Structure 1
């Protein structure tokens, strides 16, 4: 269960990065909605990280949890940048994203 909480928390990290980017692109009322989404996503992301490392029969070690959480957020932010913000999708950028994904999976495999 803790791994599921951690993955969802990482997805909310992607959400707050995306909301931050959209808030900087907009003005007025629309900007306030993106800032609210940022704040909500930030809170939920941090809360789920906290729960993943502190509850249940087998809490995830903080070092592993933090690395996986930031890895999910980083990969998600890169993909959101490519698909939403028209950032470049070069070979090397995608290559290193996939090495990051492999590292996150590796941490899960070697963790208890």
Structure 2
């Protein structure tokens, strides 16, 4: 059994960094709604993990690509979580711009 290549590990870290970004935004919303202090710990943990994993990913992935994809995962995931868990609007224009963010992130990777 072979070990993960550094590039594959970097991509895994980048995806996990994006997921932790979504967790941080989710925790912010929950703190805003409940004022429960446990969510402050969750916010701190999620964003520390997100930035830490992003920095690990950038050892192998160019900064421009890593940051664009991390931002896309966080922004897109935040919109999806807002729609699914918090009943936010899913208007056609909002979904169009969500697809534009995701498409732009992919495009930056392809041209990078």
After TM superposition, the score normalised by the length of structure 2 is 0.85
Q: Structure 2: state its 5+ residue gaps.
A: 1-8
- Residue equivalent to 1:47: 52
Corresponding residue of 2:68: 67
Deviation (angstroms), 1:8: 0.8
CA distance in 2, matches of 1:41, 1:87: 22
Point out the more displaced range, 81-90 or 100-109. Answer: 100-109
SS in 2 for 1:88: coil
CA distance in 2, matches of 1:50, 1:18: 22
Normalised TM-score (structure 1): 0.85
Q: Is the deviation greater in 73-82 or in 96-105? A: 96-105
- Could you tell me which runs of 5 or more consecutive residues in structure 1 were left unpaired when the two chains were aligned: none
Match of 1:8 in 2: 16
Measure, in 1, the Cα distance between the counterparts of 2:33 and 2:47. 19
Root mean square deviation, CA, Å: 1.3
Distance 2:17 2:109 in 1: 15
Which range is displaced more, 77-86 or 89-98?
77-86
